[in-house]
């Protein structure tokens, strides 16, 4: 798809001040300004990541109530149930709390619902199953619960109290839990709006550890080092695609460093099983190799095994689960490919579908567990909001994905009368609907997209940080670029512009990647670099000259060696 180019123009004076104060190159300073970093202190903190820079977690609404109630449960050996979600964020949040409770000697167990059999979140039916007198005293939800009104009320009626930790959008009325820790609450002034569910859970255990310390709880047992938990937070945060800024950046960088030590047996076994046994792993490796395998369990089978993988210290058990995850991921890819082929075939036969500003489709043979992934691929290909439904009996369950300029949660809220239920955030959501109402929803959703966005929003664009000639490329610059990692939502990898580039040689590698040797004649010296252009049409002839080229700049690491590589973004 054709992309518009938008060349960023940072304030030169601010960039100059940051360059001097943070002792970084003017180019890196310009990139920092492009990322919304305007003060030397913020630039220093961004480039020098430290857990000491996280903000006060007790500022979150209901945190005091939560930790005092959980302390009581630990002290008096009450039975605690950690109720999680089946995606990576929910799985890592569950493992995080369970690991902490094991350190504290708490009587804790966990429960992950089955995606297709039970659906998302804590429901009234779950309470019916556990509301045996004395079986559970306290439920703590992670990455879910903000909309579980009926379930929380049923638990309360059964004598079970609930603490909710979540990061999804909250309804106007909160459930009757004793505490709802969610930074998206309108009355929560903590400023932690962008935390993933695992980040919210981590702040809970930070506060809980301190409360236990104040109560002299750790006098009789070793106090856990919470830095050791950051690998779990990095996994959940990267997988949930929340902005990698502020605390999310700190947790993710710290966690990636831990992952690269190979200390957690479950993660290292999964790295080995995924044939991505290259270190150091970065956020891209987690997002595209590790997280999909964890997610595959919840999408195709049951996510309980994923929690066990992250908690086990048995190499044999970890290896077995990791191999199982790998097989599930292959199965997931096959199912996903079939659905995507169905959709593309439909669009080929109905080209008028692309005249709309949104895509809403449904089918009775689709597997609901992979619809979110397929919707993401559709958004990437056609750059418009996408909602896909899997029909079963009289009800359809769906997943939606969006573009940055359209708030999907607010869009679904505007169409809520046609829906049975929905939840999520600005970029992703889950929803359910009566099959008879899908046509109505499709019309209402299209009108909502038209009213809440502009036609040009459907045109993808490339943001270019800076023009960069080949003569200015050097190893020190790439090292400085790597200091900006981890890259992801909110902190994209820098993209540069080069002009008048000559293609010396070109070949297809793999099935659809083009490897090239590029040169740029500037003055007396001709600089030549290796380049790769991913996911191209191999049947198209390549030009031997690019008037303008957008590219990323990376180290290409292989067999212990590294070389400069240009990754072509657009030409």
Instruction: State mean pLDDT over 365-389.
Output: 94
Instruction: State mean pLDDT over 314-322.
Output: 96
Mean residue pLDDT of the chain comes to 92
**Of 312-316, 453-457, 510-514, 527-531, which has the strongest mean pLDDT?**
312-316
Q: Which fold has domain 350-458?
A: Diaminopimelate Epimerase; Chain A, domain 1 (3.10.310)
Is residue 1 pLDDT above 60, yes or no? no
What confidence score (pLDDT) does residue 192 get?
Answer: 95
Tens digit of each residue's pLDDT (9 = 90 or more) over 72-118: 999 999 999 999 999 999 999 999 999 999 999 999 999 999 988 88
Range with the poorest average pLDDT among 29-43, 215-229, 337-351, 535-549: 535-549
Residue 559's pLDDT band, with cuts at 50, 70 and 90, is: confident
Residue whose tokens read 């001097």? 20
Distance between CA atoms of 533 and 129, rounded to whole angstroms? 53
Residue 489's pLDDT band, with cuts at 50, 70 and 90, is: confident
What are the residue ranges of CATH 2.40.50.460 in the chain?
4-34+465-570
What confidence score (pLDDT) does residue 424 get?
Answer: 85
Is residue 465 pLDDT above 70, yes or no? yes
Residue 540's pLDDT band, with cuts at 50, 70 and 90, is: confident
Which DSSP letter does residue 491 get? B
Is residue 442 pLDDT above 80, yes or no? yes
DSSP state letters, 31-57: HHHHTT--SHHHHHHHHS--GGG---G
What SS3 class is residue 450? helix
Instruction: State mean pLDDT over 416-430.
Output: 91
Instruction: State mean pLDDT over 346-356.
Output: 93
Residue 202's pLDDT band, with cuts at 50, 70 and 90, is: very high
Is residue 288 pLDDT above 80, yes or no? yes
Distance between CA atoms of 14 and 554, rounded to whole angstroms? 26
What are the residue ranges of CATH 3.90.1640.30 in the chain?
57-227
What are the residue ranges of CATH 3.10.310.30 in the chain?
350-458
Residue 360's pLDDT band, with cuts at 50, 70 and 90, is: very high
Phi, psi (degrees; rounded to nearest 5) at 120: -85, 140
Residue 522's pLDDT band, with cuts at 50, 70 and 90, is: low
What confidence score (pLDDT) does residue 131 get?
Answer: 63
Can you say whether the dihedral through the CA atoms of 404, 409, 415, 418 is positive or negative? Answer: positive
Distance between CA atoms of 121 and 141, rounded to whole angstroms? 9
What confidence score (pLDDT) does residue 457 get?
Answer: 75
What confidence score (pLDDT) does residue 201 get?
Answer: 98
Q: CB of 150 within 8 A of CB of 128?
A: no
Is residue 460 pLDDT above 80, yes or no? no
What SS3 class is residue 426? coil
Is residue 362 pLDDT above 80, yes or no? yes
What confidence score (pLDDT) does residue 2 get?
Answer: 58
Instruction: Spell out the residues 6+ positions from residue 178 whose beta carbon is closer than 8 angstroms to its own.
Output: 65, 66, 69, 161, 162, 163
Structure token pair of residue 462: 């490339």
What confidence score (pLDDT) does residue 566 get?
Answer: 96
Is residue 252 pLDDT above 90, yes or no? yes
What confidence score (pLDDT) does residue 135 get?
Answer: 86
Closest alpha carbon to 448 in 378, 398, 400, 489: 400
Residue 482's pLDDT band, with cuts at 50, 70 and 90, is: very high
Instruction: State mean pLDDT over 224-245.
Output: 96
| Percent of residues, the chain, with pLDDT higher than 70 | 98
Residue 172's pLDDT band, with cuts at 50, 70 and 90, is: confident
Distance between CA atoms of 431 and 276, rounded to whole angstroms? 34
Distance of CA 386 to the CA centre of its chain: 18
Residue 459's pLDDT band, with cuts at 50, 70 and 90, is: confident
Is residue 353 pLDDT above 70, yes or no? yes
Residue 426's pLDDT band, with cuts at 50, 70 and 90, is: confident
Tens digit of each residue's pLDDT (9 = 90 or more) over 103-160: 999 999 999 999 888 888 999 999 987 766 568 999 999 999 999 999 999 999 999 9
Residue 539's pLDDT band, with cuts at 50, 70 and 90, is: confident
Architecture of domain 57-227: Alpha-Beta Complex (3.90)
Is residue 525 pLDDT above 80, yes or no? no
Distance between CA atoms of 300 and 288, rounded to whole angstroms? 18
For residue 72, whether the previous peptide bond is cis, meaning omega lies within 30 degrees of 0, is no
Higher pLDDT, 170 or 461: 170
Residue 523's pLDDT band, with cuts at 50, 70 and 90, is: low
Residue 177's pLDDT band, with cuts at 50, 70 and 90, is: very high
Burial (Cβ within 10 Å: 0-12, 13-18, ≥19) of residue 437: middle
516-547: b (≥16 Cβ within 10 Å) or e? bebebeeeeeeeebebbbeeeeeeeeeeeebe
CATH of domain 4-34+465-570: 2.40.50.460
What confidence score (pLDDT) does residue 277 get?
Answer: 59
């Amino acid at each position: 798809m054709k992309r518009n180019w938008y060349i960023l123009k940072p304030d030169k004076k601010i960039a100059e001040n940051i360059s001097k104060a943070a002792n970084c190159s003017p180019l890196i300073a310009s990139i920092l300004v492009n990322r919304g970093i305007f003060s030397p202190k913020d630039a220093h903190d961004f480039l020098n990541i430290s857990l000491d820079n996280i903000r006060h977690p007790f500022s979150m609404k209901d945190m005091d109530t939560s930790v005092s109630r959980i302390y009581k449960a630990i002290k008096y050996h009450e039975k605690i149930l950690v109720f999680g979600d089946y995606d990576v964020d929910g799985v890592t949040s569950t493992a995080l709390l369970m690991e902490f409770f094991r350190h504290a000697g708490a009587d804790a167990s966990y429960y992950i619902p089955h995606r297709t059999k039970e659906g998302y979140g804590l429901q009234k039916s779950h309470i019916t199953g556990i509301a045996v007198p004395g079986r559970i005293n306290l439920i703590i939800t992670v990455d879910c619960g903000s909309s579980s009104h009926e379930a929380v009320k049923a638990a309360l009626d059964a004598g079970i109290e609930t603490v909710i930790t979540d990061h999804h959008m909250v309804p106007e009325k909160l459930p009757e839990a004793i505490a709802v820790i969610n930074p998206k609450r309108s009355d929560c002034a903590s400023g932690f709006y962008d935390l993933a569910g695992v980040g919210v859970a981590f702040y809970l255990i930070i506060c809980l550890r301190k409360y236990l310390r104040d109560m002299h709880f750790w006098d009789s047992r070793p106090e856990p080092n919470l830095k050791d938990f950051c690998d779990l937070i990095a996994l959940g945060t990267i997988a949930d695609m929340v902005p990698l800024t502020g605390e999310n950046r700190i947790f993710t960088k710290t966690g990636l460093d831990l992952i690269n030590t190979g200390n957690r047996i479950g993660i290292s076994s999964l790295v080995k099983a995924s044939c991505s046994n290259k270190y150091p792993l970065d956020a891209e490796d987690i997002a595209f190799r590790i997280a999909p395998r964890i997610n595959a369990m919840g999408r195709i089978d049951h996510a309980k095994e994923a929690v066990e993988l992250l908690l086990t210290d048995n190499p044999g058990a970890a290896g077995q689960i990791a191999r199982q995850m790998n097989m599930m991921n292959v199965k997931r890819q096959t199912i996903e490919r079939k659905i995507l082929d169905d959709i593309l075939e439909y669009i080929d036969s109905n080209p008028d579908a692309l005249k709309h500003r949104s895509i809403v489709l449904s089918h009775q043979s689709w597997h609901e567990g992979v619809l979110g992934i397929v919707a993401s691929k559709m958004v990437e290909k056609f750059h418009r909001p996408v909602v896909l439904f899997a029909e079963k009996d009289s009800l359809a369950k769906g997943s939606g994905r969006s573009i940055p300029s359209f708030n999907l949660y607010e869009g679904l809220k505007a169409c809520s009368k046609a829906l049975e239920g929905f939840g999520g955030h600005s970029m992703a959501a889950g929803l359910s609907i009566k099959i008879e109402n899908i046509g109505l929803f499709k019309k209402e959703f299209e009108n909502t997209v038209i009213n809440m966005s502009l036609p040009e929003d459907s045109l993808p664009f490339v943001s270019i940080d800076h023009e960069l000639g080949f003569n200015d490329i050097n190893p020190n610059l790439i090292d400085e670029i790597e200091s900006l990692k981890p890259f992801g939502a909110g902190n994209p990898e820098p993209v540069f512009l080069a002009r008048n580039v000559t293609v010396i040689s070109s070949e297809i590698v793999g099935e659809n990647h083009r490897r090239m040797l590029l040169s740029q004649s500037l003055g007396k010296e001709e600089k030549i670099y290796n380049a790769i252009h991913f996911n191209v049409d191999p049947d198209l002839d390549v030009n031997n000259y690019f008037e303008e080229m957008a590219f990323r700049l990376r180290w290409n690491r292989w067999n212990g060696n590294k070389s400069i590589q240009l990754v072509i973004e657009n030409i």
